[in-house]
Amino acid sequence: MKKDIHIVKRLLTAALALSFISSAHAAPDGAALYAAKCAMCHQADGRGIPAQYPPLAGRVATIASNDQGRAYLGHVLINGMTGMLRINNATYVGYMPSFRALTDADIAAVLTHVASLGATGNKATIDADTVHAARTPPLSPTAVSTERRGLVAAGIVP
């Protein structure tokens, strides 16, 4: 009887250890991270709030369709952004906070999720390596806004 209890304890300990290992290595849930970190401003569907928070739905996939756009998206989440944006004939003036504390994989998962909001056709994905590369050098929120203006002029950011 004692031997059976000892075996059961070992099995439960092993099962518990495996559950921690598998959850620690599980892929980040971009939708859950977006809901927790972004939806308060940009809304669950990514449509934003007119004159307050810009829309993301249908735009991020377009921006993420090339290397410069994917790097810029990483810059926005890692460094934040401040200033004026003009999107779809609407003006937004504000500040986007930095999410630098998130892991590369978490930021990549959020960006990939956001790229799927309102997207038609091919859905863009952003990988952790792209996010990692976007961390260096650190940029100021104002520098990210300057980068955005250049990408708008080049037709990369709509």
Alpha-carbon separation of residue 118 from 24, 74, 107 (angstroms) = 31, 20, 19
Determine the angle formed by the axes of helices 67-79 and 141-153, rounding to 10 degrees: 160
* pLDDT tens for each residue of 86-136: 998 999 999 999 999 999 999 999 999 999 998 777 678 999 999 999 999
Give the pLDDT score at 4. Answer: 57
* pLDDT tens for each residue of 43-68: 999 999 999 999 999 999 999 999 99
* pLDDT tens for each residue of 4-37: 554 545 544 545 444 444 445 688 999 999 999 9
Peptide bond into 137 cis (omega under 30): yes
User: What are residue 95's DSSP bridge partners?
Assistant: 82
Fold of the domain spanning 28-153: Cytochrome Bc1 Complex; Chain D, domain 2 (1.10.760)
| SS3 per residue for the chain | CHHHHHHHHHHHHHHHHHHHHHHHCCCCCHHHHHHHHCHHHHCCCCCCECCCECCCCCCHHHHCCCHHHHHHHHHHHHHCEEEEEEECCEEEEEEECCCCCCCHHHHHHHHHHHHHCCCCCCCCCCCHHHHHHHCCCCCCHHHHHHHHHHHHHCCCCC
* pLDDT tens for each residue of 138-147: 999 999 999 9
